Amino acid sequence: VKIAVIGAGIVGVTTAHELAAQGHQVVVFERHAAVASETSFANAGVMAPGYVTPWAAPGMAWKVFSHLLSPHTPVRFRGGAPFTQLPWLWRWLRASRTKVYHANRSAMCSLAQYSTEVRHALDQRLNLDYELRKGYMVLLRKPSESAKAQATLPWLHEMGVSAKWLDGSQARVLEPGLNDATALHGALHLPQDEVGNCRQYAHLLRAEAHRLGAVFRFHHSVTSVVPGQQPALQWEHGAEGNPTESGGESFDAVVLCAGAQAKALLQPMRVALPLTSVWGYSLTAPLRLEEQYPDLGPRAALMDERYKVAISRIGMRVRVAGSAEMGGAPNHMNAAALRTLYKVLHDWFPAAALPQQAVHWKGARPMLPDGPPVVGATSAAGIWANLGHGSSGWALSCGSARMLADLIAQRPTAVDATAFSPLRFH
Ligand SMILES: Cc1cc2nc3c(=O)[nH]c(=O)nc-3n(C[C@H](O)[C@H](O)[C@H](O)COP(=O)(O)OP(=O)(O)OC[C@H]3O[C@@H](n4cnc5c(N)ncnc54)[C@H](O)[C@@H]3O)c2cc1C
């Protein structure tokens, strides 16, 4: 079967690889010069199935609005939001009901666990090196945060997630670089969870997909898609806004993996998908190497629960990532969001990094209001979607790619695909 994949972020690359491995003729269209150039470029790299959860959660609305005036609020609205986002926020609020939240959280956790399985099998076969480290620790500053985290332990264990609550001093043994001047009441430790370089993985897997016959057309921007038995697409080649060539082509199926930008292609086909961009930021800096202090930096991945900021060890660098911003200009870096990242880094690992060499980045989480991504056939003939992975696209990518390939081949899926149906928004 001849299949077009639109977008070569982590979701497009894993999808192209799966489809090529299953014997399809795959052509990938990517508007940039390389894979993982947008949201998959510098994310936190965390793959923690027990923490792959919907942002639509009970009590979340109150939490968001009560922190809005704090200088280090995890959520920020800009450029007319939240008013421009009211329909999306209304759906998000409705999906925050306890029963809906639990169903979505379980579905997302199962897909993330499956994703880990698929990725580990690929690792064994392909021997890919993407700076993988084991261990995820959720830092809990206050007794109330600890109590909430401890209450989730039975659910985590029921889902088969290995997790343990540690007091502050036990946590500091596992992460000896943690600053003892910052109060730490406890931590949830998930020893099987992982952190790795998403962008590097995308580059390595692209090479493997290419070896299996997938063709990657870079600098190709898809301008429209026409559904049908033989869906067709139009593309422009060259620098954005200044194309030097254009053309069209038909396929047996088209898979949209265009992340937050998929909406522009879906709207003319009347496919209803409430996809929005929730911006996040990261800073990446080289670790300071001091022979007499080998443990200045993080050993694996951590999450500051109060500020919702992740601190990750990526090779010989430390990456700090977080903030959720709705609205605003894509290229504008919000100084307040970056200040929060530096504050969290300074609180926990004050001497670990070389901040004068830090690189700042902003990316758009492709977010659906209820949580699970959409994986499967859309209402438009011949058009498939693997979209809307929000804050967990790296953790979910290998599993959702395999799920999509199984659905196209009309094979049973390893994880129930119902919760991920693109038709659920109709
Ligand atoms: C600060 C931050 C931290 C994060 N941390 C984590 C984490 O720790 N763990 C985790 O699992 N996830 C994390 N995420 C989320 C994760 O990065 C995303 O879910 C994931 O990268 C989405 O991948 P994608 O392939 O769908 O989108 P993208 O990576 O954005 O890829 C979409 C691609 O489609 C291309 N494209 C779009 N439209 C067209 C078109 N018309 N024609 C041709 N090409 C097109 C784009 O150029 C782009 O390359 C984080 C995100 C942010 C912002």
Ligand 1 in reach of 222 Cβ (< 6 A): yes
Torsion of CA 123, 129, 135, 138, to 10 degrees: -110
Kindly state the average pLDDT of the residues 373-389.
98
Judge whether residue 349 has pLDDT over 80.
yes
- The single residue listed with the structure tokens 């939001």 is 81
**C-alpha to C-alpha distance for 271 and 12, rounded to whole angstroms:** 20
DSSP-assigned letters across all residues of 388-425: --GGGHHHHHHHHHHHHHHHHTTPPPSS--GGG-GGGG
- Mean pLDDT calculated for residue range 155-167: 97
Q: Pull the structure tokens for residue 229.
A: 């038995």
54 CB near ligand 1 (under 6 Å) = no
381: helix, coil or strand?
A: coil
Over residues 155-161, mean pLDDT: 97
What are the tens digits of pLDDT across the range 200-223?
Answer: 999 999 999 999 999 999 999 999
Residue pair 415/114 in contact by the 8 Å Cβ criterion: yes
Centroid of ligand 1 to alpha carbon of 31 (angstroms): 13
pLDDT reported for residue 220: 97
Helix axes of 393-408 and 98-126: crossing angle, nearest 10 degrees: 80
44 lines ligand 1 (CB under 6 A): yes
Among 32, 261, 319, 323, which residue has the most ligand 1 atoms within 8 Å of its CB, making it the best to mutate? Answer: 261
| 3-state SS class at 144 | helix
7: Cβ below 6 Å to ligand 1? Answer: yes
Please, which pLDDT band fits residue 336 given cuts at 50, 70 and 90? very high
Given a cut of 80, whether residue 177 has pLDDT beyond it is yes
Q: How far apart are CA 20 and CA 122, in angstroms?
A: 14
pLDDT (tens digit per residue) in 95-151: 999 999 999 999 999 999 999 999 999 999 999 999 999 999 999 999 999 999 999
Backbone angles phi, psi at 229, to 5 degrees: -65, -35
Strand partners, 139: 187, 304
For the question of whether the overall pTM of this predicted structure is more than 0.85, the answer is yes
Closest residue by CA, ligand 1 atom 26: 259
**3-class DSSP state of 21:** helix
Residue partners of 122: CB distance under 8 A and separation at least 6? 128, 205, 398
Give the pLDDT mean for 235-264. Answer: 93
Ligand 1 pocket test, pick from 17, 27, 28, 39 with the greatest ligand atom count within 8 Å of Cβ, gives 39
Question: Does the beta carbon of 46 lie inside 6 Å of ligand 1?
Answer: yes
Q: If you take atom 35 of ligand 1, which residue's CA is the nearest one?
A: 7
Q: Whose CA is nearest to atom 18 of ligand 1?
A: 393
